[in-house]
Amino acid sequence: MYELVQAAGNSYYIECPAKIGVVVTGENEVSLIDSGSDKDAGRKVRQILDGKGWKLKAIYNTHSNADHIGGNSYLQKQTGCRIFAPGIECCFTRYPLLEPSFLYGGFPSGDLRHKFLMAKESDAEPLSDDVLPDGMSMIPLPGHFFDMAGFRTSDDVVYLADCLSSMETLGKYGVTFIYDVRAYLETLKMVKNMEARLFVPFHAAATDDITGLAEANIAKVNEIAERICLICGEPVSSDEVIRMIFREYGLGMNMQQYVLVGSTVRSYLSYLRDSGQLEIAADDSMILWHRI
C-alpha cells in the first residue's frame, strides 16, 4: 500500500493507513509530515526515500497520536533527522506514555500500552514557523487533539492531518475521536472555507474541494451532540451515556474502544455543559448529567 503520490510540484504524499506528507526542500533533500504508525511504517518510508535518492532532513508531526508518530524513532535513529511537533504535542511525542494515560485518566493497563496508542519515544523539538522550510507554513487545526497543526506548501497543497474523517468512516463508525468539540467545530468551519490546489486529509482521499467533506463532519458532530442531549433527558452518569452511545452506533466494546470513545463522549459532555445545554448534579456519590 505504501505508494508515493505527487500532489503538485515538490509536494507529495505516501498513500498508507495514515497518509504521510513528503516535501522536497532542497537538492535531493526532503522533509516528512508525520511518519506512520510504527517501525515497519518507518522502514517502508525509508525504502521509498532511498529509491528516489532523497535524504531525510526533518519530520514535522501534525500531532502526537501513535499512528502519526510511530515511525519517528526508527527514522531518527537511521537518518539523524530532526523532529518537530506543535505545542503540547511535542511533550506527548517525547513521552508517549502520556497518550494512553490521558485517554484512560490514570495509569494505563497493559491492554492500552501498545503501539496503537503508545509510540516509541523520539527526540522532538517545539514546532514554530521559523523552523519550517521556505514556502511552507503551519495551519493550527485544534480539536481532534490538543495542538494539532496542518501545513501549506509553496505548491498550494494543504496537509490537513486528522481534522476530517472520510465519508466511509463516518458511515461505518459514526463516533470519531475528538478532544475539544468546540475547537473541532471551529476548525471544520475554517477548513470548509479554505481554498487550495489540493487538500490532503490523512484519513480521507485527497481532493481539490474540501467543502462537502467538512460539512459532513460538522453534521456528524451535531448529530452526536443531539443524541447525547436526548440520552440526558433524565439524569444519567457518564458511563451510562458512553454505554448508550456504544449501543446506538453499534460499536464493539474493548479497552481501546472504551478509552477512545469514552474520552470523546466526555468531551461532548463538557462541550454541552459549557454551551449551556446540560447541567450536572451529584447524587448517591455519582455525577449525573441532565438536559436543561
Query: Is 175 within 8 Å of 264 (Cβ atoms)?
Result: yes
Name the domain boundary from 162, 184, 215. 162
pLDDT value of position 27: 92
Provide the grid cell at 264. 470523546
Give the integer Cα–Cα distance in Å for 181 and 187.
Answer: 10
Find the CATH number of the domain harbouring 273: 1.10.10
- Say yes or no: 129 and 265 in one domain: no
Domain assignment present for residue 170? The answer is: no
Task: Tell whether the torsion through CA atoms of 194, 184, 34 and 31 is positive or negative.
Answer: positive
Residue 146 neighbours by CB under 8 Å, 6+ apart: 63, 64, 87, 88, 89, 92, 179, 180
Mean pLDDT, 10 residues at a time, the chain of 292 residues:
96 98 96 98 98 98 98 98 98 98 98 97 97 97 98 98 98 97 98 98 98 98 98 97 98 97 98 98 95 96
End-to-end CA distance of the chain, in Å?
49
Where b means 16+ CB within 10 Å and e means fewer, 245-267 reads bbeeeebeeebeebbbbbbbbeb
Query: Is 6 within 8 Å of 200 (Cβ atoms)?
Result: no
Q: How many domains does one find in the chain? A: 2
List the domain range (segments joined by +) for residue 259: 231-291
Residue 172 neighbours by CB under 8 Å, 6+ apart: none
Domain assignment present for residue 74? The answer is: yes
Domain assignment present for residue 208? The answer is: no
Residue type (1 letter), 282: A
Angle subtended by helix axes 255-274 and 181-192, to nearest 10: 80
Domain assignment present for residue 215? The answer is: no
Name the domain boundary from 139, 162, 185. 162
pLDDT value of position 247: 97
Q: Whole-model pTM? A: 0.97
Query: Is 117 within 8 Å of 110 (Cβ atoms)?
Result: no
Give the integer Cα–Cα distance in Å for 246 and 273.
Answer: 21
Task: Tell whether the torsion through CA atoms of 24, 25, 26 and 32 is positive or negative.
Answer: negative
In angstroms, the Cα distances linking 163 to 146, 173, 241 are 12, 16, 24
pLDDT value of position 1: 81
